[in-house]
Amino acid sequence: MNWFKLIALTFFLVGCGEADRGKAYITSQEGGISIIDLNTMEVINQLNAGGYPRGIGITKDGTRIITANKADASVTVTNIISNEIESSIEVGINPEFVRVFNGQVFVSTEPSSKGKPPAKGEMNKEEEEEDDDDDRTPAKIAVVDLIEGKKIREITAGPETEGIEFSKDGSQIIVTNEADNTITVHDFVSGNLLKTVQADAYGLRPRGIKVSPDGNFYIATLEHSDNFIVLDKEFNHVKTVKTQHDVSEDNKHKGKSPYGVSFSPSGDKLFVAASGGYKKRSSLEVYDGKSFEKINRVETDGRRCWHFTFTPDNKDILLACGRSDEVLVIDAENLNIKKRVPVAGIPWGIITYPKALGSLDEAD
């Protein structure tokens, strides 16, 4: 479908009284930023980003996309009105996870990782799935001021920082640290360490982190133990929940390697993206948002599905599957797969505008 037809269809839908559903933005590690029109669920544009982009965020006004570029040790600010890169800001070695919060950009880095981005088309298992070693160099959360266009401070976390979350009142930053199996809690203003949760008592390699809509729980996925932990609002351990529930031959890879995590907007359900391990089929695991009992599973037939988002109207879930080069459109109510949208270049991160709840972002 060409640009003219897409624009005409969008105006037709709006003219018929149907609200514009917005757009989704996807980083592809070998392909920049892809834009999906949520009215048609088709890719309508490609934007440039830095080298090997992964993490992605968007400003509150929806005019600028920020990506973490592993190959450049930078974040790129792309104006989505002009489709031009406005700036590239150095943040530190191996930046990965991005959150835009209160007008600032928070970026996790991994200075202890020895892995380097491969040449295009040459990604291997070790770089993609492991990318860690025995170095325990403390990592940094880089904080970038977009108005000043520079990194303004750093927060020292554990080695190989991964996920970033904020408390509901905005006073604390919560960080998952892969290499030493910790979750650290920091003061938002000073960055000082307030608490360390030793996750290795429950599993290995914490990656995703999400606060519940009511602020009463935090969920952290432990990738190498095929489970997640539930923490209360004081960061005390409440429960450990397995994501791999069936180890029979047909299902032994289902629920393995959990990463991206998010509650539903109402908080009644919890969704966990489980990649199934290298070259295995991923699943989207579904739990009760209060008891954390398993209630469903979406069999994706996709590969390395790490991150997902709700659409702004909360009707669909978009799941980025990097190794099958696609974004799945899943009905949020009945959990049926409605469409598979081809997105080339190993898609990694996915967000929307208007902003919606997902594994990488929060709704306004």
What single string gives the DSSP state of each residue in 198-245?
EGGGT-S-EEEEEE-TTSSEEEEEEGGGTEEEEEETT--EEEEEES--
**CA 138, CA 182: separation in Å to the nearest integer?**
12
Q: What are the chain's domains? A: 21-353 (2.130.10.10)
**Is the predicted pLDDT of residue 4 greater than 50, yes or no?**
no
Write the DSSP assignment of 310-362 as a string of letters: E-TTSSEEEEEEGGGTEEEEEETTT--EEEEEE--S-EEEEEEES---BSS--
Per the CB < 8 A criterion, the answer to whether 170 and 191 are in contact is no
Q: What is the pLDDT of residue 16?
A: 53
Average pLDDT on 104-116 reads 76
Amino acid, single-letter form, for residue 164: I
Q: What is the pLDDT of residue 126?
A: 38
Among the listed residues 345, 246, 198, 227, the one whose alpha carbon sits nearest the alpha carbon of residue 287: 227
Q: What is the pLDDT of residue 129?
A: 47
Q: For 38-66, how does the pLDDT look when each residue is reduced to its tens digit (9 = 90+)?
A: 999 999 999 989 899 999 999 999 999 99
Per the CB < 8 A criterion, the answer to whether 135 and 128 are in contact is no
Q: Report residue 114 as tokens.
A: 């020895």
Average pLDDT on 63-92 reads 95
**CA 145, CA 239: separation in Å to the nearest integer?**
37
**CA 173, CA 141: separation in Å to the nearest integer?**
10
**Is the predicted pLDDT of residue 326 greater than 80, yes or no?**
yes
Quickly state the pLDDT bin for 113 (edges 50, 70, 90).
low
Q: For 144-187, how does the pLDDT look when each residue is reduced to its tens digit (9 = 90+)?
A: 999 999 999 999 998 889 999 999 999 999 999 999 999 999 99
**CA 57, CA 282: separation in Å to the nearest integer?**
24
Q: What is the pLDDT of residue 241?
A: 98
Q: Look over the chain and give the mean of its residue pLDDT values, rounded to a whole number.
A: 89
**Is the predicted pLDDT of residue 233 greater than 60, yes or no?**
yes
Q: For 259-274, how does the pLDDT look when each residue is reduced to its tens digit (9 = 90+)?
A: 999 999 999 999 999 9
CA dihedral 324, 275, 23, 29 (to 10 degrees): -60
The pTM assigned to this predicted structure is 0.90
Quickly state the pLDDT bin for 280 (edges 50, 70, 90).
confident
Q: Report residue 352 as tokens.
A: 């929307």
Q: What is the pLDDT of residue 17?
A: 64
Quickly state the pLDDT bin for 254 (edges 50, 70, 90).
confident
Per the CB < 8 A criterion, the answer to whether 73 and 91 are in contact is yes
Average pLDDT on 267-283 reads 89
**Is the predicted pLDDT of residue 33 greater than 70, yes or no?**
yes
Q: Is 147 buried (19+), middle (13-18) or exposed (0-12) by CB count in 10 A?
A: exposed
